[in-house]
Amino acid sequence: MTIEDFAKTIQSMGGTAYIVGGFVRDEIMNISSHDCDLMITGIKEDDFVKKFPNANPTGLAFPVFRLFIDGEEMEVAFARKERKVSEGHNGFEVFFSPEVTVEEDLERRDIRMNSIAKNILTKEIIDPFNGVKDIQNKIINITSKKHFSEDPLRVLRVARQASKFNFDISEETKQILTQTADSLVELPLERIFGEMEKALETKKPSTFFRILKEVGALKFAFPWLNKLIGQTQSKQWHPEGDAFEHSMLVLDKVSMQTKDVKLRFCALYHDIGKAVTPKETLPKHLGHDFEGLKIIDSLPLVIPKDWRNRARAVAELHMKVRTIKKPVKKVQLFNRLKQAGLSVDEFKIIVSADSINGDEDVPAWLTQETFDKVFLPIEIPNNLNPKKDGTKIKEFVLSVRSKRIS
């Protein structure tokens, strides 16, 4: 079944089928989009189910179905209206019926450029809130103040989309973000992490965190990053400013080198230990690497274990790597990277981004070639028994590996 066939069937039932949301926005912007969401008006749920018996129902509070169209599974939702009736992200009363219009459905959406629909058959663009104009002007405006403030996740979504599309945010919208910011504490941590992960995929992720800082939302969504603000650093090594500015700089530098969100996350939190440096010791941050380990360990468990393991290794080693001289210490660093699942090249990206001199401050011995040489197979002497001489074997292996790196 093609999407036109689907729309014609809906029309024959007295309804209308639309493409809505991000797919329409991206089409107007001439960029590719993966998810094509459909919305229908003018028909009853029972009639839809009878006509499309293979449609898989997924909605709990309102009718949403998954249906194979044009060879892929698409989401089909009935037009609906929403009303906030209680606290929390699930505290909505949803109303749907054949009488709900496309304009009413679009009004409940977050920002104007996402509040656009396209009639599948006529190709008419339904744009009651001037979302197309916002796209042309590269600016973000909320669709409805009433509906926007009902879901605090939208604060993060606005910041993320500004980062993704490099759009400005209108002053009126910034004011509403500020007014809504404290409601972020109501959100499940999974939703906050989900938006952060998507933000880390953007070309310049720092934009997301800078916007949250500007509207007073950073302290509610990412409190440890907020504590970096005002933590001054040595101007000789950090002319960019405080620890927050440095973290944003490193994040963007790393993002220019890799699209790996896990490595970008490591860059974001590499200096998080500076958040707890006592004011009286500033601008020095002695021991911030080990303080960073404690903070990363305290991060919500919703952050995947492998993300945190990598971030721990980076926080621990990014300063140490510049001062290591003894071969045995170099081997131990390599072993730590291996345990964390970090390649030498990945670690070097962060070390370089973290330094004012860039690649010049990356030690010459920190290469993948050296790493591979260190971890070549080792033949254990016959006089050492793995069951009895575990400590001696470890010492022997470390000795051999250290000689390879000298």
Q: Which residues, including other chains, have CB under 8 Å from residue 198's CB and lie 6 or more apart?
A: 160, 164
Superfamily of domain 1-141: Beta Polymerase, domain 2 (3.30.460.10)
Q: How far apart are the first and last CA of the chain?
A: 67
- For the chain, what is the radius of gyration of the CA atoms? 27
Statement: 152-217 belongs to CATH 3.40.50.300: no
| Domain residue ranges in the chain | 1-141, 152-217, 222-242+257-325+338-364
Per-residue pLDDT of the chain (406 residues; tens, 9 = 90+): 899 999 999 999 999 999 998 899 999 999 988 788 999 999 998 999 999 998 888 866 677 898 899 888 889 999 988 765 445 555 556 777 888 899 999 998 889 999 999 999 999 999 999 999 999 999 999 998 878 888 889 999 999 999 999 999 999 999 999 999 999 998 899 999 999 999 999 999 999 999 999 999 999 999 999 999 998 888 877 888 899 999 999 999 999 999 999 999 999 999 999 999 999 888 988 889 999 999 999 999 999 999 999 999 999 999 899 889 999 999 999 999 999 999 999 999 999 999 888 888 899 999 999 999 998 988 877 777 766 667 777 888 888 899 888 7
- Answer whether 234's CB lies under 8 Å from 283's CB: yes
- CA 25-28-30 angle, to 5 degrees, is 110
Q: Mutual orientation of helices 305-317 and 288-298 as an angle, nearest 10°?
A: 170
Rounded Cα gap, residues 60 and 74, in angstroms? 17
Q: What is the DSSP string of 237-291?
A: T-TT-SHHHHHHHHHHHHHHH---HHHHHHHHHTTGGGGG--GGGTT--TTHHHH
Name beta bridge partners: 64.
77
